[in-house]
Structure 1
């Protein structure tokens, strides 16, 4: 007796058809995507697994997403960009005021790339047919290339040892050494030289074999000379585009608000490349950058691969913002991932855990930003070229406010074309009385505050026709209240045991006071103010120098044995360290022990040795700007920093006398007040 097999349920048949249709579409996408061989193989391998997997299983959707990522990544898609230094200079000048050294460094980088692009390129033609060599050489020479020719692979390798070749066009079938052997040798010894294979025995298998072996392109014979010219141009353009990403990794370092991120965006605009910004502040999990392995539930690629997928090109300008704020805990060390990302020798085969196959980051132009590079690991810092963003002078801030900040805030608050203007004196009043910073963020915040109050005033007077208004310096307190910062350095009377120093912090240069007192005791030295080890050692060295020369200063030898000396740095909640306060501590102690008042309008910075020599320090520009903001009349700097001081623009030193000192005894005449003559 025979039983008829019941038909499959319609729902299952429908699901099977949908599943097959989906896999077919994905397979077609894989074949059309032009993936590199290793990515193509990974996609086909995953599709084979999916064909054997039930669509209801969780692994099925994971596999679909993985193949979709492989197809969506820009493996071979690049922006051509525009290496035009004239255009780049115009954009940088239009977008940013000041930052001349930064602009100069960027333009130097572009100039080098432009010359590289304009240089005549050398092409090696390898073919055993003289007529074919002659025809290709004639056409390519006419296009502006310098051509060399060889009859076989052996002759080609000999010529490669003598000449600098940019591209090889090689026949496949030749005597002594054929094209595949030549390709393997070039790929092994000269991997940077692309090879275009040409053959009269064109077939799918030979083409696939050549491309797998590293050929940049594959052409059949007889060669279409127009197609040859087009292919050569495309391959060489791709090589030039890749070279752009192999430039030094730039690291913009400087105080907050000095324009590091906006300059990176302007570079991308000048180069006509896409711009990607990833903030690394507070990043603690290595997987955020490198991705999770697909064995984990909810796995996903890292931020680098995700951003490249979103941009659609493999050569954007990629900004790693706040790289010095990367954290570290039990989930890994993200800074170690940066070593692979920013090293041109390693990022050619960057491994994302989710992707699990190499992806080249070599075409990306990486730019990092940091406020304090001392927090970066040494190996990571070694891979980057530092470009310092110094603070702005008051004149630069006024120009930036008038050209950029005020028009932007008037527009943002609905006050454009209403006749409202800020006088230069009003802008200067905001800068000096309500901000004390190296950058511009607080300045923009205060101007926005003024604009909002003006907007409210205009709204309350809707019935009254608006009149042109020019804000003067005396109008600013009505909008912003009493001034928050008072320049008291030049107005304060001299005090015994108190001197003014200059220090550098993440927010730029700062003024700091050193206060000293003496009391009966047993010769102890007390140090307070959240001081680091280096600063404490500087204080001990300064006191030891004074004790060794007590007779010269008129100090009794028994004084130190019966006296405790207390040195305090105000703002005890803020940690302080560094050697540059050495001469400030020395001057304060001499003032205390000799009972001579110290000028408060003289600021100083420098490291001092136990013998009294003054060593160079860093952050000169930032410290001078801090002294300028505080209204200092004179600044004492180490003589060893003379060249750096002389290279500064005049407006950084405006309103102050900069004096260079080389030894401790040169400091005191400028700081201590001794009778009538010392007031001059």
Structure 2
């Protein structure tokens, strides 16, 4: 109450009243006011927040409790007090424990786990660094006393006698904090301060002097000193200043940390591994789904002038977590709605920018809140949908499709025991053979992730539960073989597209990438009498249509090279069809496949059906690189393809693929279409 109570002459002044009609004496004796003041003073709020909270408290106390403004003001103060301004959790940076936990939660995803462990290793090394303090003072006793004090606090301390020696020491090993005297021989404290500010701007500087005056203090602060203390030194104040500057420097260094963005098909474990990261680091975790988000006020909050205003979902989540440095997962970021009504990605730009989020302002709070301690993890299925400035602020980590063996291992280790238990069955009483699990994966699912597989396993467990009840109590272990799966589950809902058995004229096999992983497709070409039309069917996108036009133009301009009649298109129509017309197809990857199919049809040379192609073609016959190489090779392996033809510039992507994926597949890298012709046509 020291900042509110005023002196009054007893009996000499008339009774004064607050704005709501309350007597000042009543206000001073109000238990509610005393309790609120005490809570504000004991909340350890930052200074700039404390001043605002005090002003709001005074305004609230003078407001009539029956007024609507009282409830609004009270809710605002309660929100300020509920935020964890200074509460953090200490990171657990044990890499062995983190690795074991990630392996226990997820099978596979080795590149993703490696990147996460690298991130934790950097934080661990940074946390082990000893804070460095440089003492510059011409008094030997002062240097020795301060050195002993700071060494006992765990700092690495160096001491020098003047400014010139301090510059040399900074050049050899820059310090985090410089504590310097003002008056020194050779180079005084102000000259040293100017040089340090010019060359090492992040170093905190505390100025000490036995000749403290207002003028010297103002001069030192104007030249860039962070704090100013007179001698004899108040050690408690000096220690507090040093810790404050160290915390500031650590925050600045932490701003350079990455914002991780997990990208990949649905069901590959992006959200669950984010939760595992929080568990491994010992941090609080909360997930924020951005799917369908349109209004930026959902993230930034509403101004208090609106009825029913509240803070944004970011500060609400931090409030619930109770700490200032949780792990926040921004899920489904690529599904944020961007239209004329609003663009919530503009708020994400500020939240995820390391240079801005240290002073994030929520509209409801109206005060800066430090988000620099938050570890943001974003997820997106198709990262290309995100605005370029937003992608620039994040480090993309790709979650690729699971291989067949990985799905089998995950099913055996995690999914099947879990689903059996959830359906009231004892996992020890059922034995699903590896062939049965393989049949579930291959014949009953078609996806890059695991959600569909988990649904099919759940369906199998329900049917086994019914058979168990129908058959009565039976202590024998039930063994499920591959041949039993169709009898239990019914006919497979999907059929696996396989390569044709014999070479065919005008039919080529291509490889494509979809949201659900890799697939193979067939390109058919036919020629008929007509008037120079290129007919394209199969629900093709604009880019794919342009690839077909490029392929035809290349063949027409190089007819002699491929032994074609120069006028082969004069009185003909060429029809290119890609089956599965109900499925929309788009992208440049089918350029080689279309060219080979047309060339095979024109020359009568059959195309090898154990060869599949993926690559964009230029008008000059150059083969340009494409993406999704791993998923495409996996699709080729499932379809029985023996040779995959890819652009030469995809060499790095091929070398980074696991040996398991490349097993029984020969990858041929080409740079021009002539090389493809020699490989493809008989």
CA deviation map 1:230-280 (0-9, x unaligned) = 997898578657745641111111111111112211211111111121111
Q: Which residue of 1 aligns with 2:555?
A: 546
**1:576 aligned to which of 575, 585, 589:** 585
* Per-residue deviation, 1:648: 1.5
Runs of at least 5 residues in structure 2 that lack an aligned partner in the other structure: 1-14, 16-20, 212-219
Structure 1 residue 43, shift from structure 2 partner: 1.5
Asked if 1:27 is matched to 2:37, the reply is yes
- Answer whether contact 1:581 1:606 (CA < 8 A) is retained: yes
Contact 1:604 / 1:635 at 8 angstroms: preserved in 2? Answer: yes
Instruction: Find the counterpart in structure 2 of residue 665 from structure 1.
Output: 674
CA contact (8 A) 2:446 2:516 kept: no
Match for residue 285 of structure 2?
Answer: 275
- Structure-2 separation of matches of 1:432 and 1:216: 68
- Give the number of aligned pairs: 653
For the 8 Å contact 1:19–1:55, the answer to whether it is kept is no
C-alpha spacing 1:293/1:521, structure 2 compared with 1 (3 Å): same
In structure 2, do the counterparts of structure 1 residues 646 and 152 end up closer, same or farther at CA, with 3 Å as the change threshold? closer
Which of 628, 632, 647 does residue 637 from structure 2 map onto?
628
Deviation of 1:381 (Å): 0.9
Alignment of 1:644-659 (within 5 A): 644-659=653-668
Task: Quote how far apart the aligned CAs of 1:602 are.
Answer: 2.4
Shift in Å, 1:569:
3.2
Aligned: 1:536 with 2:545: yes
Distance 2:59 2:169 in 1: 48
Alignment CA distance shift 1:570-1:148 (3 Å): same
| Displacement of 1:305 | 0.9
Change (3 A) 1:521 1:244: same
Q: CA deviation at 1:543?
A: 0.4
| C-alpha contact 1:246 1:362 (8 A) present in aligned 2 | no
The DSSP-based 3-state class of the residue aligned with 1:289 is helix
Superposition TM-score, scaled by structure 2 size? 0.85
Match of 2:569 in 1: 560
CA distance in 1, matches of 2:195, 2:44: 25
The separation in 1 between residues aligned to 2:206 and 2:547, in whole angstroms, is 66
Q: 1:411 aligns with which of 421, 427, 433?
A: 421
- Does the alignment pair 1:496 with 2:505? yes
Aligned to 1:351: 361
What is the CA deviation profile of residues 396-450 of structure 1, one whole-angstrom value per residue up to 9, with x for unaligned ones? 1111111221222122222234421221111111111111221111111111111
Mapped to 2, the partners of 1:219 and 1:61 lie a distance apart of 47
1:434 aligns with 2:444: yes
In structure 2, distance between residues paired with 1:185 and 1:300: 48
Aligned residue in 2 for 1:43:
53
1:101 to 111, 124, 142: 111
Match of 1:364 among 352, 371, 374: 374
Deviation by residue 1:511-537 (Cα, 9 ceiling, x = unmatched): 222233333221011223443333222
Question: Which secondary structure does the structure 2 equivalent of 1:514 belong to?
Answer: strand
Q: 1:242 to 1:71 in 2, by over 3 A?
A: farther
Q: Give the deviation of 1:38 after TM superposition.
A: 2.0
Aligned to 2:602: 593
1:61 pairs with 2:71: yes
Cα displacement string for residues 617-655 of structure 1 (whole angstroms, at most 9, x for unaligned residues): 121111111222333232111122223212321111123
Q: Summarize the alignment of residues 224-235 of structure 1 with structure 2, pairs less than 5 Å apart.
A: none
Q: Structure 2: how far apart are the matches of 1:570 and 1:19? A: 84
Go from structure 1 to structure 2 and tell me whether the alpha carbon gap of 1:168 and 1:69 turns closer, same or farther (over 3 Å shift): farther
Q: How far does the alpha carbon of each residue in 1:467-489 deviate from its partner, in whole angstroms, 9 at most, with x for none?
A: 21221111111222112333342
- Runs of 5+ in structure 1 lacking a partner? 6-10, 202-209, 675-680
Instruction: Kindly report the root-mean-square deviation, in angstroms, between the aligned alpha carbons of the 2 structures.
Output: 3.9
Q: Show the counterpart of 1:615.
A: 624
Q: Equivalents in 1 of 2:258, 2:547: separation in Å?
A: 37
Question: CA 1:22 to 1:284, structure 2 compared with 1: closer, same or farther past 3 Å?
Answer: same
> Is the 8 Å Cα contact of residues 198 and 221 (structure 1) preserved in structure 2?
no
Between 273-282 and 506-515, the greater mean CA deviation after superposition: 506-515
The structural deviation recorded for 1:52 is 3.3
Distance (whole Å) between structure 2 residues aligned to residue 178 and residue 20 of structure 1: 56
Name the CA distance, whole Å, in 2 between partners of 1:446 and 1:491: 29
Displacement, 1:589? 1.0
Alpha-carbon distance between aligned partners in 2 of 1:219 and 1:303, rounded to the nearest angstrom: 46
Summarize deviations over 1:578-599 as a string: whole Å, max 9, x none: 2211101111111222334434
Change (3 A) 1:286 1:568: farther
What residue number does 1:75 align with?
85
Equivalence map 1:197-212=2 (5 Å): none
Residue 11 of structure 2 aligns with which residue? none
Change (3 A) 1:184 1:93: farther
Check the 8 A contact 2:513/2:631 in 1, yes or no.
yes
Aligned 8 A contact 1:490 1:633 in 2: no
- Cα 1:154–1:516 shift into 2, 3 Å: same
- Please, what TM-score do these two structures have when normalized by structure 1? 0.85
CA distance in 2 between counterparts of 1:87 and 1:153 reads 47
Task: Give 1:136-535 correspondences, 5 Å limit.
Answer: 136-141=146-151, 144-149=154-159, 163-167=173-177, 192-193=202-203, 240=250, 243-244=253-254, 246-461=256-471, 463-535=472-544
Query: Are the equivalent residues in 1 in contact too, given 2:287–2:330 (CA < 8 A)?
Result: yes
Distance 1:69-1:178 versus aligned 2 partners, 3 A rule: farther
Q: Which residue of structure 1 lines up, in the alignment, with residue 4 of structure 2?
A: none
